[in-house]
Amino acid sequence: MSFSLSAASYLVTGGVGVTIGTIGAALIQAFTSRSEGRAHAADMVADAAGNLTDRLTRLNDRLDDENKQMRRAIILLTDVVDQIIPLVGAPPEIIAQLKKANNSAKLAV
Give the footprint of another protein on this chain (CB under 8 A).
Answer: 1-9, 11-16, 18-23, 25-27, 29-31, 35-46
- Residue 89 C-beta: closest distance to another protein, Å: 51
Q: Considering the complex, state which of residue 31 and residue 86 has its C-beta at the smaller distance from another protein.
A: 31
Q: Considering the complex, state which of residue 29 and residue 103 has its C-beta at the smaller distance from another protein.
A: 29
Closest to 74 (Cα-Cα) out of 44, 108, 23, 51:
108
- Residue 62 C-beta: closest distance to another protein, Å: 18
- Residue 109 C-beta: closest distance to another protein, Å: 23
Neighbours of 81 (CB within 10 A): 16
How many CA atoms lie within 13 Å of 18's alpha carbon, on the beta-carbon side?
6
Q: Considering the complex, state which of residue 22 and residue 69 has its C-beta at the smaller distance from another protein.
A: 22
Question: Which residues are within 8 A (CB) of 75 and not within 5 positions of it... i.e. 6 or more apart?
Answer: 106, 109
Q: Which amino acid type is present at position 53?
A: T
